[in-house]
């Protein structure tokens, strides 16, 4: 897929703004009648390693930082290092009509699940303005 096509994809706004190269934090997005559910692979991370912030009103900033490796004695020789630190950062633009004040997250068995309830009865943003003869 050409990079121009990705930029024109109307669903792109629902996904991450940045996709770090080599990240293992792959995501599934499910929608139920009551919520949007995001499942993100986070092997090796526990709840203390993951931070989630709501920014700009509708952007979830998800960050995972693994602790430092235990100090390794000098006499130890590395032959292979594939696991790496695995730190990641994702910005997820939320869909419209969701209850951002009721977002819940849980990590279990290497999967971060974020549940964003849908606002089934959104409050109308329009209202009548009374007109008077004087201000």
pLDDT value at residue 124: 65
Asked if residue 31 lies in contact with residue 96, where contact means CB atoms within 8 angstroms, the answer is no
- List pLDDT tens digits, range 37-76: 999 998 888 899 999 999 988 899 999 987 666 677 888 8
To which residue do tokens 């792109």 refer?
12
Domains and CATH numbers, the chain: 19-117 (2.60.40.790)
Long-range CB contact pairs, 109-113, < 8 A, 24+:
110/41, 110/42, 110/43, 110/44, 110/45, 111/39, 111/40, 111/41, 111/42, 112/38, 112/39, 112/40, 112/41, 112/42, 112/45, 112/50, 112/62, 113/37, 113/38, 113/39, 113/40
Asked if residue 51 lies in contact with residue 105, where contact means CB atoms within 8 angstroms, the answer is no
Higher pLDDT among residues 122 and 20, named by residue: 122
Helix (H/G/I), strand (E/B), else coil: 111: strand
Helix (H/G/I), strand (E/B), else coil: 47: helix
Ramachandran angles phi, psi of 39, nearest 5°: -115, 125
Could you tell me which of 54, 135, 67 has the C-alpha nearest to residue 98? 54
Percent of the chain clearing pLDDT 90 (strictly above): 36
């Amino acid at each position: 897929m050409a990079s121009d096509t990705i930029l024109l994809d109307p669903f792109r706004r629902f996904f991450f703004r940045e996709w770090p190269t080599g990240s293992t934090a792959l995501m599934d997005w499910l929608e139920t009648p009551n919520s949007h559910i995001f499942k993100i692979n986070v092997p090796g991370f526990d709840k203390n390693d993951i931070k989630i912030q709501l920014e700009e009103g509708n952007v979830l900033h998800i960050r995972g930082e693994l602790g430092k490796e235990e100090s390794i004695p000098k006499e130890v020789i590395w032959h292979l290092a594939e696991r790496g630190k695995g730190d990641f950062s994702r910005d997820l633009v939320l869909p419209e009509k969701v209850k951002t004040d009721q977002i819940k997250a849980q990590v279990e068995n290497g999967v971060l699940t974020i549940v964003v309830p849908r606002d089934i009865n959104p409050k109308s943003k329009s209202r009548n303005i009374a007109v008077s003869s004087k201000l």
